[in-house]
Amino acid sequence: MKIALLGYGKMGKIIEKIALDRKHEIVLTTSQENLHDLTQENLQKADVAIEFSTPSTVLGNIEACFKAGLPVVVGTTGWHHETAQMKEQCAYHKGALLYATNFSVGVNIFFHVNKMLAKLMNNYPYYDVQVEEIHHTQKLDSPSGTAITIAEGIIDNLEAKAGWVNVLTTDDAADDANIPVDQLLIESLRIENVPGTHTVIYDSEVDTIEFKHTAHNRNGFALGAVLAAEWIQGKKGFYSVEDMFDFNK
Ligand SMILES: NC(=O)c1ccc[n+]([C@@H]2O[C@H](COP(=O)([O-])OP(=O)(O)OC[C@H]3O[C@@H](n4cnc5c(N)ncnc54)[C@H](O)[C@@H]3O)[C@@H](O)[C@H]2O)c1
């Protein structure tokens, strides 16, 4: 498979290595330094694009792929307000896109169990719930795309919560006093040199249940993105990673 890598930072470089290990070829890499290489002609040399750039550049890159007729796997986060618009664009161009806020197998198992747990907790309304995410200080968006997916999984399944509110903090003491009870608190902590951590916390007067995922490195995200690029070959439409990891089978 011939791959175009749009975004050649920390993730792009690991994806390149894993793609080469899986006998794929990298025919184009773009980053802030060589934006002039993002032409229709260059994109059409590839079978698929993998996009890990920045929240402010992802939409332009997706549109370039649609116009070039190139399927695109998107890992960049921080554009969740634009998903409806990009679904329309995908349909208009008869394109193919797979988006995941998190490509790791472990996190996708976590997403699945998180929904089941939220459904179960409807029977125990004396527990309140919150989400905590911890990332490195260079991360551009907050809350993380992964935390938003976790929050949506809770809101869709737990009657007590109707929306989410993010509090960004540098210590472990977010002030949640002003958050309405029907809103789910997402506490985003930014700390130097930490791996990404997501915890769902159900707290009552008598005990606390914590459900936690910790990423040890970025390899799991990169492998999932390459698997998605293999999976999307020959498909049309707007997919989420749940279409690839079908846990209901
Ligand atoms: N979905 C997942 O599993 C997952 C996992 C890790 C990171 N991410 C997300 O992926 C994105 C990238 O993460 P990273 O750690 O590689 O960031 P990074 O800052 O290391 O790299 C970003 C790259 O994008 C490049 N860039 C800037 N403008 C561009 C443009 N117009 N076209 C192409 N490239 C451009 C930069 O030059 C840089 O090389 C972030 O949004 C991050 O949150 C997603």
Provide the residue-wise pLDDT of the chain in tens; the chain has 249 residues: 999 999 999 999 999 999 999 999 999 999 999 999 999 999 999 999 999 999 999 999 999 999 999 999 999 999 989 999 999 999 999 999 999 989 999 999 999 999 999 999 999 999 999 999 999 888 888 999 999 999 999 999 999 999 999 999 876 665 666 899 999 999 999 998 887 899 999 999 999 999 999 999 889 999 999 999 999 999 999 999 989 988 877
Quick check: 62 and 89 in contact, CB under 8 A?
Answer: yes
For residue 87, give the nearest of 226, 234, 236, 225 by alpha carbon: 236
CA dihedral (237, 238, 242, 244) in degrees, to 10, reads: 40
Distance CA 75, CA 50 (A): 8
Q: Work out which ligand 1 atom sits closest to the CA atom of 107.
A: 3
Strands of the sheet with 2-6, listed across from one edge: 25-30, 2-6, 48-51, 72-74, 96-99, 237-240
Mark the binding-site residues, compressed into ranges: 75-77, 100-103, 136, 145-146
Look at the domain 105-214 and name its fold: Dihydrodipicolinate Reductase; domain 2 (3.30.360)
Q: Where are the alpha helices (DSSP H) in the chain?
A: 10-21, 40-43, 58-68, 83-92, 105-121, 145-155, 219-231, 241-244
State residue 174's pLDDT score.
Answer: 59
Sign of CA dihedral 98, 102, 105, 109: negative
How far is CA 133 from its chain centroid?
13
Q: Work out which ligand 1 atom sits closest to the CA atom of 32.
A: 37
- Residue nearest atom 32 in ligand 1 by C-alpha distance: 31
- Residue nearest atom 2 in ligand 1 by C-alpha distance: 102
- Ligand 1 proximal residues by C-beta, below 6 Å: 6-12, 30-32, 35, 52-55, 57, 61, 75-78, 100-103, 218, 221
Distance 160 CA to ligand 1 centre (A): 35
State residue 173's pLDDT score.
Answer: 60
Q: Which CATH architecture best describes the domain 2-103+218-244?
A: 3-Layer(aba) Sandwich (3.40)
Using CA atoms, how far residue 73 sits from 66, 82, 112, in Å, is 12, 16, 21
| Bridge partners of residue 184, in order along the sequence | 164
Mark the binding-site residues for (S)-2,3,4,5-tetrahydrodipicolinate, compressed into ranges: 136, 145-146
State residue 172's pLDDT score.
Answer: 61
Supply the residues annotated as catalytic.
Answer: 135, 139
Distance 193 CA to ligand 1 centre (A): 17
* Residue in 32, 37, 43, 52 to alter for ligand 1 test, most ligand atoms within 8 A of Cβ: 52
Q: Work out which ligand 1 atom sits closest to the CA atom of 101.
A: 1
- Tell me the domain boundaries of the chain: 2-103+218-244, 105-214
State residue 175's pLDDT score.
Answer: 60
Q: Work out which ligand 1 atom sits closest to the CA atom of 11.
A: 16
Quick check: 46 and 28 in contact, CB under 8 A?
Answer: yes
State residue 205's pLDDT score.
Answer: 97
State residue 71's pLDDT score.
Answer: 98
For residue 213, give the nearest of 202, 200, 224, 197 by alpha carbon: 197
Number of H helices and E strands in the chain, helices first, is: 8, 11
Distance CA 11, CA 163 (A): 30
Distance 52 CA to ligand 1 centre (A): 4
Quick check: 248 and 102 in contact, CB under 8 A?
Answer: no
219-231 and 105-121 helices, crossing angle to 10° = 90
